[in-house]
Amino acid sequence: RIYNFALALVGWLKGGLGHVNVLGSVIFAGMSGTAIADAAGLGTIEIKAMKEHGYSSEFAVGVTAASATLGPIIPPSLPFVIYGMMANVSIGALFLAGLLPGLLLAVLMMLTVAYFAHKNGWGADIKFSGSKLAKALIELGVVAAWPLVLWLLIDKAGAPAQVTVIAGLISLFVLDKIFKFEAVLPIMTPVLLIGGMTTGLFTPTEGAIAACVWAMVLGFWWYKALKFKMFVKVCLDTVETTSTVLFIVAAASIFGWMLTATGVTTAIAAWVLGFTQSPWVFLLLANLLMLFVGCFLEPTAAITILVPILLPITAQLGIDPVHFGLVMVLNLMIGLLHPPMGMVLFVLARVANLSVERTTMAILPWLVPLLLSLGIITYFPAVVLWLPKMFY
């Protein structure tokens, strides 16, 4: 459904499936929260479709790898949750902080697709259909208008919040039944999660439960696409992932306490501040460090190790912890595309049946929009902090 929706929206452009790949990842990012899930899930469909339409395996892998980094930037995001726990930062603020940078990344990636399409003389992959485009735009309008209408009713008209939200959800199902929308209900997952947290309807934990219940309602009842056997497997995978992450966080908390108790963090902070007291120079050095660490460590482990070391320095330099969290997560996501330990690199090499060497070379051009985005996000913190400051 996500793929078909993105295809109707941008598939008629030159290099259409490349644009579809990026837009599909933007939407899927609102449900997955990890780069590996994006690459292994939607990436499998996208690479196969692109190869069938005559795109090279290298281009298909490159754009899929780059767009997979959107998974942890656009909320919800597992790395943001881990960072928020380690840094004692509002997870809701981190989620909001990821919205504009995620859209910036998507725009730069789509411009890169347009450049390759122009350079190679690629045409559109599907015929332009005004009716399909209009339907997709109407669906986008519904997704944008729904939370706005609820906000006006609750905040301005004084309607009871819970009753209004339930009535709004019922209205969505009625509209979907009448107009047979392609992707309105799935896209509503991140809208419910972020909207509920920013309006105070529920906490991040309650928001996660609400998103899971919403997905189960859609999968089991509405679309009837989720079978019980698949549901059991998903639950077991979730338990495995969650328990692994919590063990890492528990061990990292002890590690952080030891660093503080032994004065290591103070010594490192004094050494760094003796070298430079400029926040911009520190951010440059921190970026280089995190890009390097990201090539060797899985993001959860890297966050739990780096936060106790770097956060005291950012506090002394006056760097906002929400801003620094975004910078850290994006650095570590870029690291997932590199050998020797880049998980996205290995997943996509297997999916596309390419060698790791060819996959690495295919990803190299896509570092340009990623590093450009990193530079903008690092040195223009307003891009990150504008939305969080409106609500927190």
Give the model confidence (pLDDT) of 273-327 as tens digits.
Answer: 888 889 999 999 999 989 988 888 888 888 988 898 899 899 999 999 999 999 9
Single pTM value for the model = 0.87
The number of C-alpha atoms within 13 Å of 220 and in the hemisphere containing its C-beta is: 11
CA distance 33 to 81: 10
CA distance 306 to 91: 18
The first and second tokens of residue 313, run together, are 């320095």
Task: Give one DSSP letter per residue of 124-164, joined into a string.
Answer: BSS---HHHHHHHHHHHHHHHHHHHHHHIIIIIS---HHHH
pLDDT at 205 over 90: no
348 touches 359 (CB < 8 A): yes
45 touches 27 (CB < 8 A): no
Q: What share of the chain in percent tops pLDDT 70?
A: 99
Closest listed residue to residue 8, CA positions, set 110, 122, 125: 125
Instruction: Identify the burial level of 227 via C-beta atoms within 10 angstroms of its C-beta, where 0-12 means exposed, 13-18 middle and 19 or more buried.
Output: exposed
- Mapping DSSP onto H, E and C, the string for 237-291 reads HHHHHHHHHHHHHHHHHHHHHHHHHCCHHHHHHHHHHHHCCCHHHHHHHHHHHHH
The first and second tokens of residue 303, run together, are 């966050």
pLDDT one-digit tens code per residue, 10-25: 888 888 899 999 998 8
In residues, how long is the chain? 392
82 touches 249 (CB < 8 A): yes
134 touches 142 (CB < 8 A): no
Closest listed residue to residue 196, CA positions, set 224, 168, 175, 219: 168
pLDDT at 371 over 90: yes
pLDDT band of residue 219 (cuts 50, 70, 90) is: confident
Average confidence (pLDDT) over 72-98: 89
pLDDT band of residue 346 (cuts 50, 70, 90) is: confident
Which residues fall within 8 angstroms of residue 137, CB to CB, at 6 or more apart? 9
pLDDT one-digit tens code per residue, 241-278: 778 777 877 777 787 778 777 877 778 778 888 888 89
